[in-house]
Amino acid sequence: MTNRRVILLFVAFNLFVAANAIRFYLEPGQRRCFTEELPSGSKVTGQTRVSGGKSDMPIDVWVTTLQGRVLYNKRAEDHGKFSFITPKVEREHRPADDYEYEEEEEETYRICIEHQQKAGRVHPAGTRRAIEFNLDQAFGGVSEDVERAAKATDTDRLQKSLRQMHTSLSGMIGDLTRLQRRERNLTARMEHTTGHVLVLAIFSLTVTIGICAAQYKYYEGYFKQKKLC
């Protein structure tokens, strides 16, 4: 019974990994890019694989910031893992009335995959290759611990898969924590903005009433002077 449960967990993990992988097609010379919001100062790992035509039309992998800074570049490969560390973002000095906001340390990064065509090789019209792409964020060095444990001990495939499942669940918890923090930040900003709008509305109403009163006094004096009332 225990072995059956372990096997079911192993199958579920493989299905979970497969569901999180992005699969798409590229023609020779075509490029496809994705954007991802990632926390600053965190290690991110990814994996690319060409399902067919290996060593025939290799791919290039680029990871850049939106400003064009290259964090990772690997040319001419048909499969492999890659990793990069997101740079820490320096924030400007915040006003004194912004103390209630938590710092959002997420930036948007661009991951591009380009299907290179070998020089001198002609491919039939409509030739394309299936690409599988997966991106994962390492939390607290958990992924490194998994790889280190797998190499240092005689860990079998099932145990390693269970460790990787734990890593994936930790990543999901980290994602939920960041989403909750962003929701709190958004709520605080909306309340802050609503307060400013209310003050502005009261000020505008006061100015309007003052202008109407001044105009009333002016026209009242004007009509009395002209003896129209």
Kindly tell me if the per-residue pLDDT of 16 is higher than 80. Answer: no
Give, in degrees to the nearest 5, the angle at Cα 138 between 136 and 139: 135
pLDDT at position 79 over 60: yes
Alpha helices, DSSP H only, in 24-156? 142-152
* DSSP sequence for 135-189: EEE--TTHHHHHHHHHHHS---HHHHHHHHHHHHHHHHHHHHHHHHHHHHHHHHH
Give residue-wise pLDDT tens across range 153-168.
Answer: 555 677 777 777 777 7
Q: What is the pLDDT of residue 198?
A: 93
Average pLDDT over residues 36-58: 75
Q: What's the pTM?
A: 0.50
Q: Where is average pLDDT lowest: 11-15, 112-116, 172-176, 212-216?
A: 11-15
How much is the pLDDT for 201?
A: 93
The phi-psi region of residue 190 (left if phi > 0; otherwise alpha if psi is between -120 and 50; otherwise beta) is alpha
- Angle at which helices 142-152 and 157-225 pack, to 10 degrees? 170
Residue 129: predicted pLDDT: 77
Tokens of 105: 């340390």
Instruction: Tell whether domain 2-87+106-118+126-137 is in CATH 2.60.120.380.
Output: yes
Q: Tens digits of per-residue pLDDT, 170-192?
A: 778 877 888 888 898 889 899 98
pLDDT for 156 equals: 66
**CB neighbours of residue 111 within 10 Å:** 22
